Every structure is written in structure tokens, then in C-alpha cells.
Structure 1
């Protein structure tokens, strides 16, 4: 079953904001359900909401409890813009597939915005533009070509010259892409809202409850738990984040360590439109504002899994992020009031891996979220809920697991 990871360290900024409590029960006896979802972070919450909306009976389990894994560590830049630029992704998987992946990401974000409004989830959701800055990965001329490629794919993008970027946003870089229609929100409030919606539809939540063995058979899946009881389900969905279950092939998936800081509230000093800012660099920096005027700055990513080493580096990484933030916005107070670390999964393409586990037709998994975790979780909820309903999602092939 999943390798246990310490998914985050330090104090994420979201601890400063109260989220609704999500009630859970103890798993005291064997039970049955249509679908068992393992994991109660943002991916599990989206899956539970989608499946209960379709009328399925759903059980969710988590070895920690709701919202206690990596969801609380996300900086929640909820973007349709995939980490892998469209021009680069086209070279990896082909132009048609790359354009479709970008279009599906944009559609998923629109669907998520609509769902938040429909369910009236109070997660401080605000439509936000984004600025993609020239860096050591793509220079200004590269970004000009990237913007043109996005427009040809039907995805709005405006190239900003150095002067336009300086005049409109006060940032001194060689150029940037301005995009509209991304989303800033509180990830814990969103996750809690989705879980509570599923609970209202009679989903059952058990925690702590840890899956220890999975056995698939023709009519369903049997999951044994460390607590003793066995859960029988027609379908199993593994939303365990970066703690991959042994049954899931890990080819193409690796773990990245990341760091973030958040400042004190300073709403009068936030840049125009409170746009999300990220850069075409490796490692890249990203900056966003919260609804009450804190500045979140993250990045400094490194490819390793050692949680103790990751957490030990937090003070050093926080100091670097503070200096980078100060250089970008000299008028801000860059001091870190919150500093934390986290781990996330990534793939070579920057796309998630979603779908049925090879050789196990009733078991599904989601992995490799990268920097678009919340958007990709929405795509996963759409693809997997369609598959369980016996429907075909036209984009499923883009994200499927390989044996």
C-alpha cells in the first residue's frame, strides 16, 4: 500500500484561516459501497463530489483525516496554464495532443469555477489574471512565440513587451505573457466544501482508516484496513497524492520538494489586478496574493524525496524566496510570517496520469499533479467519474496510465 511520506513541514499560511470541520467516523465493521475513495485531500474531495452527484454510494477513507495531507501545503495557483509551455509540450507529445491538453485544462478550470458557484462554496474564489515572465527557460522572443501558439489553439494570450510590463505592473523583465481566467482561492476551504457536499449526499467518511491490502476481482475490489474491517466496493479510486500505492506503476512519476513563504497582510501594496506571477525559469518563482492582502511566494524546487532534508532546508529556502520577492517588488514588506515545505509528484510531460490501473479494470489512480494540482484534480474527477458511469471521455487517452 502507499509508502508513507511526511508530505509537508513548517506552517502553511492556510493555518491562519478557519476552515469548516469535516466530520468523520471510526471504521468499526466490514462494509460495502459502490465506490471507495482512498484519500481525503483535494483530489478525493473532487472525486467524492462528482461521484455522489452521479448518484453513487461513496465511502472515503484517509489514514490521517480530511485536509491533513499535502492539500494544506499547496499555494493554490489554480491555473489552466500547464507547467509545460504549449510550444515545449508540442515537441514532446505532438502539436494536436498538446493543444488538446491545454484546452482541456482551460475547460476544467471553467468547470471548477462553475461548480464552486453552484454549490456556493465559500473559499475566497476570485478570477485572477496571470503573468508568465521571461526567464532562463524561455526568453522574451520565446514567449512571443508561445503566446502566438496559444492563440492559434484558441487560448487567449497577450504578449507584453518589457516597457508594457514595467508600465502596467512595475516588473522589470524582458517580456511576459498576460492571461485571464485563472483562479485564486483557499484550498482548505474548497476541499472542506466539496467533502461536506458529498456528506450531504450520504457519502460516508472514515478516519483514521488506512488501506493495507487491495484485491481486485471480477465483480469488484476488496480493501483490507489496518483498523481491521474490510471494505467491499464495485470500484476503487486511489487519490493518495504522492504516496503511491504499490499496485500503481510509478514509471514516469517522480517526487519534487518545494518551499513557500507568506507575508503579513499588506493590501495597499499589492500589484495591479493581484495577478498571479510565475516565470519561465528552472527553478521557477511564483507569487500570488491572498484575498486579504498577504503575498505568497514559492519555488526553489529540487528533485529529491528525503523529507528530513527538505524540512531542514526550509529556513535557507525561505531566506532566498524573501530576497527574490524583495527584488521583484521593492515596496513590499517581504518578511516571511509563514514558511513551509512540501512534496509533490511530477511527470516528464507536466501532465497528470489519470485512469484505470493496468490489469485492474475496477481500480483507478491519479498521480503526477505537478504545479497544476487543483486543475488536474478536476480533470481526474471528470474522467474517472465518466468511466465508472460507463461513459467515454474523449481526452482519457491523453492522461492514461501506462503499464
Structure 2
């Protein structure tokens, strides 16, 4: 599966940071993690750090799938409003989902401090109403989040214009948000997995998965086998090939990064993530080099050739939208790309075993616009399941959620992370 097009900035910026060997012999481990992106890295690090012998398998080079194309906006705000999740499920679980993402940002900050330079920065998050029709939903969203203690500020049109130069009806300014370099962080995490006794293999493809009573046997495309007590399938949007029925729909999102922009030109954009209420939405943030990273204009294209052909047109369309918001900026897409992402019906991830595979095969489907924060949430959750311990989010984020009938229209998601 071809997951990206064009020139993703992180891969250009960092290059092939490290190399890892192929697995070309029969082997054993406690837990096999299939997938060498940021999701697999966070899960492998969590397990290796608590005494599990972990083996990671990636069929490409490490970090070369969707992680290289991620724009890595870290927000507790889920694409599906808390109000909508409360209607669909209940208020308690809606708050749990949002709070889980908030806690994940703090945990990612802690991890970044341990790992060293991964371009982690704290930001605020500006969510503005794209039209007058979106004002009432944002007011309801603000009220519910405020009720549960989320640190925010309401900006009316005048306050928004004064503070950020955006001419829009209103906005929610959330105090907790962040950004990082997901490609570099994945490599740093895999370095630590190795230091803790784990093993990382790339250019190693899994052909079949055979669960048994006491474990799982993975047959590799080169004929070797890996026998594991547990398996975690964290292969991003390719993970659905292992499911009897897809649980998400693949789409494409488009992004570009500019040349560095002077600090006075960026203003508050230097430390503020920005996104809007329209769906699909425009989203952006600055890098630690002062470049503006812009994404959006998602579509339902899931064919690499068609997606490739749209990259430059989409990039220039996004640039015009940014210039319309901030006319003083001249936006030049220096590196442009597109990537596959998947959206679930409710905008939430899935973690844990699937009935079709039994108790030893777990999935990590961190789908939607909060992919990295979801992955951080999922890492300790999966460790708890593997260690047969309870976790407060285990039931809610499991495949049993599919048995619940929605009570409202599904949220539309995008690919901020």
C-alpha cells in the first residue's frame, strides 16, 4: 500500500536517520509489534520499558509510512465534538476520551524530555468558527468542556481579530496543545527499545499470522518464523487488511511546509495550532525552524496515482486559504505531499483484541486526526491488556464499541496527526 506522495518534510529534514537489519532467521519474543511508525514505537517503548522482550517488524524502512507524512499537531480536541460524543455514547465517556488525549500530551512531553531533541514544543490551539452557522455548536462545545475543567478561553469576533488577525465569528482558544517531529521521535524511541533489550527489524514483511492456544506464530515473507506470546498489529492504515470487516475508511489529506518565516511575520502563529470548524478543515502550525506547516483539503481519493497528481494543486489551494486569513503573509509551498489516513465512524481509535483473532492478537488502530495522542493513550492500555490488568479505557476503545448503535450523525475527521 502506497501511503504517501510528494516530499514529506520530516523525511527530507532528517533523512534515513538509522538503519536496522532484516529478520532472516527463526526467532522468539514475548511481544511482536507489527509496524515501525510512531504508533509501533510508542507501544514497543512502553512494553520494553516494563520488562517485555519486544521484537518490532516493519516492511519498509522505519518511519517511512504515514509517520513521515504526519503533520503532528498534538491536541486533546477530537475531531468529533465532545457534545457529539456525549450524545452518541454518554457524557462520562466523552469526557474520558478528551481527558485521555490531554493526559497523552503531558506524557508525550515527558517522553520527549527523556529522549532528547525531537522538536517537541508546547502550544495553544485555536479552533475558529468557519461560518455563522457554526457559532452555536462551538458555544455548546465550549460550555461542556468548561463544565469539566478544560483550560480554554472564548474569543468573540473582535477579540479573535485583535489577538490573531483572523476575521471569523468566534473561536475557542485551548491552552494545552503541542507539536513534535514524529519521524525523529519514532527513531529515538526505537533506539531506546534496543537499549532495553528489544529488537527492531525493517524491510521484514509478515506473510501470515497463526494464533494458537498459548501464543502466535508469524510467518515472514522470506520463510522465517517469529513465535510470540502476544502480537500487536500497529501497521497504521494497512492494519485493516487483517480485519474481517474494515472499521475505518481510507482517505487522503494534503500538506506542505514553507520556507522559514520571520518571527514578526508569524506572530502568534509561531506558538499556536490553528484549525477550523468546516469539514474537511484547514489546519496549520509552525515548526521549530519557523516554517509554517499547513494541511487539509481532504478528499476520498484512495488511489496513489490520482493522489500524486493532485498534490501541487491542493498545496497551492491551501496556500491561498492561508493568505486569505493572513493577507500579510506570502505563502510558498516549499515541500508538498499527500498521505493516506483513515476515519472511523465516531472519530475514536480501537485498541485491543478482535473476536476473529482471539486473545493473543491485539490491534492498535490510532485512526483520525489525533493519531499520535491516540497512540500515546493506547500504549499503556495495550500493556495493561497484555499483562491482564484492568484499564479504564479498555472497554470503551475496544471493538465491542461497534455493537453500540450511534444516536447522532458520525463526526467527520481529518489528519492533524
Q: Which aligned segments of 4 or more residues in structure 1 are displaced greater than 3 angstroms?
A: 249-252
1:8 corresponds in structure 2 to 4
The answer as to 2:231 corresponding to 1:236 is: yes
1:152 corresponds in structure 2 to 147
Equivalent residues of 1:137, 1:281 under 8 A apart: no
CA distance in 2 between partners of 1:287 and 1:335 (Å): 14
Q: Deviations over 1:310-330 (max 9, x none)?
A: 111112111210110111111
CA, structure 1 residues 338+399, in 2 after alignment: closer, same or farther (shift >3 Å)?
A: same
Equivalent residues of 1:256, 1:346 under 8 A apart: yes
CA distance in 2 between partners of 1:294 and 1:87 (Å): 34
The answer as to 2:368 corresponding to 1:373 is: no
Secondary structure at 2:250 match in 1:
strand
Equivalent residues of 1:20, 1:189 under 8 A apart: no
The 5 A counterparts of 1:379-394 are 379-394=377-392
CA distance in 1 between partners of 2:254 and 2:95 (Å): 30
The 5 A counterparts of 1:263-274 are 263-268=258-263, 269-272=265-268, 274=271
Equivalent residues of 2:366, 2:375 under 8 A apart: no
Unaligned runs of 5+ in 2: 403-417
**One of 386, 397, 401 as aligned partner of 1:399:** 397
Q: Deviations over 1:230-252 (max 9, x none)?
A: 00000000011001254324443
Instruction: Report the TM-score when normalising by structure 2.
Output: 0.92
Q: 1:16, CA displacement in angstroms?
A: 4.0
2:256 corresponds in structure 1 to 261
CA distance in 2 between partners of 1:29 and 1:245 (Å): 27
Q: 1:214, CA displacement in angstroms?
A: 0.5
184-193 or 43-52: bigger deviation: 184-193
CA distance in 1 between partners of 2:137 and 2:392 (Å): 31
The 5 A counterparts of 1:9-28 are 9-18=5-14, 21-28=17-24
The answer as to 2:336 corresponding to 1:339 is: yes
CA distance in 2 between partners of 1:212 and 1:16 (Å): 30
**One of 77, 83, 99 as aligned partner of 1:81:** 77
Unaligned runs of 5+ in 1: none
Instruction: Report the TM-score when normalising by structure 1.
Output: 0.95
Q: 1:149, CA displacement in angstroms?
A: 0.6
The 5 A counterparts of 1:55-204 are 55-117=51-113, 119-136=114-131, 139-204=134-199
Secondary structure at 1:17 match in 2:
helix
CA distance in 2 between partners of 1:138 and 1:267 (Å): 35
CA distance in 2 between partners of 1:245 and 1:83 (Å): 21
Equivalent residues of 2:27, 2:226 under 8 A apart: yes
Question: What's the C-alpha RMSD, in Å, of the aligned pairs?
Answer: 1.6
CA distance in 1 between partners of 2:366 and 2:41 (Å): 17
CA distance in 2 between partners of 1:80 and 1:49 (Å): 22
Secondary structure at 1:45 match in 2:
helix
CA distance in 2 between partners of 1:338 and 1:46 (Å): 27
Secondary structure at 1:366 match in 2:
strand
Equivalent residues of 1:346, 1:368 under 8 A apart: no
Equivalent residues of 1:267, 1:292 under 8 A apart: no
CA distance in 2 between partners of 1:319 and 1:329 (Å): 15
Equivalent residues of 2:216, 2:228 under 8 A apart: yes
1:52 corresponds in structure 2 to 48
CA distance in 1 between partners of 2:67 and 2:133 (Å): 30
